[in-house]
Amino acid sequence: MGNSWFQFQQFRINQDRTAMKISTDAVLLGALAKKDDPAQILDIGTGTGVISLMLAQRYSNAKVLGIEIDLDAAEQAKENAEASVFSHRVEILQMPIQTFKTSQKFDLIVSNPPYFPDHLKSTDQKRNQALHTDQLSFEELLEKVKELLDQRGTFWVILPPRQMQDFVQLAEMKGLFPYEVNQVRDSAGKKVQREIVGFSFEQALSIQKEILIKDESGEAHESYRSVVKGFLLNF
């Protein structure tokens, strides 16, 4: 998914000015994050705007706000949103989430956050910003979610399993509890590569699901197809 543009069924994403291109992570999060009939949705670290547009497609009554710290990415996300049929319901702001202030509460908050600590960096500063937690720590992210999430709302995030373990511990300390866990594997028998977790303020029993990207023949697995159906071409 590293081309300068990526065509979805209902919108197109240009990504030639963004450090982080569209990934399977973003597509899965955009397809799985959910809340019954949300009116206000917040996408923290929107990047190209893909998750914001997927959520606008899924929830036709919702207004979606994407926040992105990087100027080039924010401008491109805004252009992608404005070129889509969802333009009247998607807004992009360029700023750090830490400085975002509003009295608005959000029914659904999503984030595909940076998760590497401050080491092993590349020479690409924009990529470092998107990947490394020194610009947005887990604690800072969770503090803003706690501040902005409606009491009946849900918060969804995607991380590798090891980082998710730390994230869940921090979340529970702040009163946010996992209620659905989606484990993503490349194929049956492979280790879990990502976890997509839904949190709420209620202490509910966790639902656990599994998504396999490929089947034994190397084709898209049915569990993956069922998630991305309606978004990716040929699905």
Ordered by start, the domain boundaries in the chain are 5-169
- Given CATH 3.40.50.150, say whether it is the number of domain 5-169: yes
Looking at residue 131, what is its pLDDT?
Answer: 42
How far is Cα 120 from Cα 127, in angstroms, rounded to an integer?
12
pLDDT at 173: 96
Whole-angstrom Cα distance, residue 97 to residue 115? Answer: 16
What length is written for the chain? 235
For residue range 152-201, what is the model confidence (pLDDT) as tens digits?
999 999 999 999 999 999 999 999 999 999 999 999 999 999 999 999 99
| Other CB atoms within 10 Å distance of the CB of residue 218 | 8
Give the per-residue pLDDT at 120.
Answer: 53
Inter-residue contact 53 to 115 (CB < 8 Å) = no
Burial of 214 (0-12, 13-18, 19+ CB in 10 A): middle
Give the pTM: 0.91
Q: Which pLDDT does position 3 carry in this prediction?
A: 73
Residue 205: what pLDDT? 77
* Residue found by looking up tokens 């599994």 in the block: 210
What pLDDT, on the 0 to 100 scale, is given for residue 2?
A: 53
Distance CA(21)–CA(165), nearest Å, equals: 26
Residue 120 makes CB contacts below 8 A (sequence gap 6+) with none
How far is Cα 235 from Cα 226, in angstroms, rounded to an integer? 8
pLDDT per residue as tens, the chain (235 positions): 457 899 999 999 999 988 878 999 999 999 999 999 999 999 999 999 999 999 999 999 999 999 999 999 999 999 999 999 999 999 999 999 999 999 999 999 999 998 756 545 455 454 444 444 457 899 999 999 999 999 999 999 999 999 999 999 999 999 999 999 999 999 999 999 999 999 999 988 789 999 999 999 999 999 999 999 999 998 9
What tokens appear for 94 in the block? 């360029």
